[in-house]
Amino acid sequence: MSSNIYDMVLLRLGSEITIKGKNRARFEKVLADQVRRALRPFSDAVVKRTYGRLYVELNGHPYEDIANALRDVFGLVSFSPVKRADVDLESIQETALAVFQANKQRKDTFKVTVKRGWKQFPHDSLEMNHLVASHVLRATPELKVDIRNPQVDLRVDIQQGGAYIYCDVEKGAGGFPYGENGKGLLLLSGGIDSPVAGWLGMRKGLKLEAVHFHSYPFTSEQAKEKVITLAKRLLHYTDGKFKLHLVPFTDIQTSFAQSGQERLIITLMRRAMLRITEKIAVRESATAIVTGDSLGQVASQTLGSMNVIGKVASLPILRPLVMMDKVDIIQLSERIGTYETSILPYEDCCTLFVPKSPATNPNLEIVEATEAGIDNLEAMIEEAVKNTVTVVLRPEEAAKPARESEEDRWF
Ligand code: ATP
Ligand code: MG
């Protein structure tokens, strides 16, 4: 059965516990804005609030297309395609049957849950449960009613202006609306992990900017393009703007390579990256650093290394992948659309000077002494910040925004 039978999509936000009172109104407003942004390509879709709920009116757009766009909106816990019926018994019964038949789940058992928001409707909700269920059963005799654990819960919400009927519930991306939990800087390499870490941070409501270190001309133009492509993909999940800071790292890296502490090069590089990132964070008013570290994945991601590396930063370092396995990270990277780019073979600045046996448990004193022995390190760090090039990424085609309706004035 076609999924084009639907008129609207019902949107569900986070749980009542996380978003109460005043926060909820704000959360809903930000979420509605994000949904509008995600639905820009669908010029007739309208986001509105009716009877205290957030809906998208499809106005002829296929539900599946809208659903695909909604799956990327953070803060949306789940959503359901809805068909509207006139507020009379026959229309409700027929529409309920159509919605039941269009639903994608298995259909051996079901129940009907009617809510009568408009009390003047002549049948109360208990009566309506029976009247709707018996109509569905007449058309589908092998079907059984199961009140406790039905495969399908057919819901009917009766309001004065219409009855809203749905049963499919699709999972949304969850989390918080983009930007609702502060701002961080993402250390973005060209690999698989850091874009996924960025996406997880964004999903938790962090507004992000990316910082990438390159060692041009040792690293190629393609390596830079690769990072820009990854950042453009992450742009898709933002509020329409994503900054990428490209930091020249060649001089610093070269001086570490000459320090005589080959096994500590990665530790030294990571610490310098954090120092530079903190300075950019101050400039950009960001208050966290996000990395793609995953415990034990490589030498620089052992607990010992993370300790010595992290000591240099005063901002919290958020590591969304720290407890995740690589297979799960890869799966996420495929889902968010960064995997294909991440596996392109261009070298990263860190792969250039990789020692044969990097320290897995570096000694903080030796690391600090090595840094102190490089006399112009602080100046090189300042220089790198000064010569950082910032690219502001925006969507290429500014499509027409989804229309706002009269009902939107409630914001
Ligand atoms: P990724 O897949 O993200 O490259 P990785 O497993 O290769 O991660 P490392 O190279 O050890 O891990 O890097 C650990 C983290 O340090 C990265 O996830 C990223 O956050 C940061 N990082 C590494 N190289 C760079 C770089 N050139 N620019 C910015 N951040 C970097
Ligand atoms: Mg890497």
The CA distances from residue 395 to 146, 190, 238, 339, 404, in Å, are: 48, 21, 10, 20, 21
Q: How far is the CA of 292 from the centre of ligand 1 (A)?
A: 6
pLDDT given at position 323? 96
Q: Which helix (H) or strand (E) holds 127?
A: helix 125-139
Mean pLDDT within 112-120: 95
The CATH number of 183-393, from 3.40.50.620, 3.65.10.10, 3.30.360.10, 3.30.499.10, is: 3.40.50.620
Sheet strand arrangement including 242-248: 317-318, 289-290, 183-187, 207-214, 242-248, 389-393
Sign of CA dihedral 134, 136, 139, 143: negative
352 pLDDT higher than 80:
no
Higher pLDDT, 51 or 88: 88
pLDDT given at position 83? 97
pLDDT given at position 395? 87
**Inter-residue contact 267 to 308 (CB < 8 Å):** yes
Higher pLDDT, 300 or 163: 163
16 pLDDT higher than 60:
no
pLDDT given at position 78? 95
Mean pLDDT within 214-219: 87
Which atom number of ligand 1 is nearest to the Cα of residue 349? 27
pLDDT given at position 184? 98
- The pLDDT confidence band at residue 131, using thresholds 50, 70 and 90, is very high
The residue nearest atom 4 of ligand 1, judged by CA position, is 191
**Inter-residue contact 81 to 6 (CB < 8 Å):** yes
Q: How far is the CA of 191 from the centre of ligand 2 (A)?
A: 5
Q: Report the distance separating Cα 230 and Cα 174, nearest Å.
A: 22
- Average pLDDT value over all residues in the chain: 90
Mean pLDDT within 189-200: 96
Q: Write the pLDDT tens digit of every residue in 270-285.
A: 999 999 999 999 999 9
299 pLDDT higher than 80:
no
Into which CATH architecture does domain 3-174 fall?
2-Layer Sandwich (3.30)
The residue nearest atom 7 of ligand 1, judged by CA position, is 191
pLDDT given at position 301? 87
Mean pLDDT within 151-157: 96
Mean pLDDT within 190-216: 96
**Inter-residue contact 111 to 148 (CB < 8 Å):** no
Sign of CA dihedral 67, 71, 74, 76: positive
**Inter-residue contact 151 to 107 (CB < 8 Å):** yes
133 pLDDT higher than 80:
yes
Angle among Cα 28, 30, 32 to the nearest 5 degrees reads 65
Nearest-ligand number for the alpha carbon of 298: 1
Q: Report the distance separating Cα 257 and Cα 354, nearest Å.
A: 10
pLDDT given at position 357? 85
Length of the chain: 411
Q: How far is the CA of 123 from the centre of ligand 1 (A)?
A: 62
404 pLDDT higher than 80:
no
Q: How far is the CA of 329 from the centre of ligand 2 (A)?
A: 14
pLDDT given at position 351? 66
Name the residue of 192, 193, 271, 301 whose CB sits within 8 Å of the most ligand 1 atoms, as the mutation to test its pocket. Answer: 193
Burial class (CB in 10 A: 0-12, 13-18, 19+), 411: exposed
**Which two tokens mark 380?**
């090189």
Mean pLDDT within 327-356: 86
Mean pLDDT within 148-153: 94
pLDDT given at position 358? 87
User: How many beta carbons lie within 10 A of that of residue 52, not counting itself?
Assistant: 8
Burial class (CB in 10 A: 0-12, 13-18, 19+), 141: exposed
DSSP for 239-305 reads TS-EEEEEEE-HHHHHHHHTSS-GGGHHHHHHHHHHHHHHHHHHHHT---EE----TTSSGGGSHHH
Name the residue of 317, 327, 350, 389 whose CB sits within 8 Å of the most ligand 1 atoms, as the mutation to test its pocket. Answer: 350
Q: How far is the CA of 236 from the centre of ligand 2 (A)?
A: 22
The residue nearest atom 31 of ligand 1, judged by CA position, is 189
Q: Report the distance separating Cα 214 and Cα 223, nearest Å.
A: 8
19 pLDDT higher than 70:
no
Q: How far is the CA of 187 from the centre of ligand 1 (A)?
A: 7
350 pLDDT higher than 70:
no
User: Pairing mode, if any, of strands 170-171 and 162-166?
Assistant: unpaired
Q: Within 13 Å of residue 306, how many CA atoms lie on the same side as its CB? A: 16
Sign of CA dihedral 237, 242, 245, 246: positive
Mean pLDDT within 77-88: 96
* Cα torsion through 336, 396, 184, 383, rounded to 10: 120
Domain residue spans in the chain? 3-174, 183-393
**Which two tokens mark 411?**
């914001």
pLDDT given at position 410? 30
**Range with top average pLDDT, 3-12, 129-138, 255-264:** 129-138
Mean pLDDT within 9-20: 72
pLDDT given at position 74? 94
Percent of the residues in the chain that have a pLDDT greater than 90, as a whole number: 76
Q: Report the distance separating Cα 161 and Cα 85, nearest Å.
A: 9
Higher pLDDT, 23 or 38: 38
Q: How far is the CA of 196 from the centre of ligand 1 (A)?
A: 11
Taking a 5 Å cut-off on Cβ, the residues next to ion ligand 2 are 189, 191, 348
**Inter-residue contact 87 to 160 (CB < 8 Å):** yes
Pocket around ligand 1: residues whose beta carbon is below 6 Å from it?
187-189, 191-194, 211-213, 291-293, 297-298, 300-301, 348-350
The residue nearest atom 6 of ligand 1, judged by CA position, is 193
- The pLDDT confidence band at residue 3, using thresholds 50, 70 and 90, is low
- The pLDDT confidence band at residue 403, using thresholds 50, 70 and 90, is very low
Nearest-ligand number for the alpha carbon of 253: 1
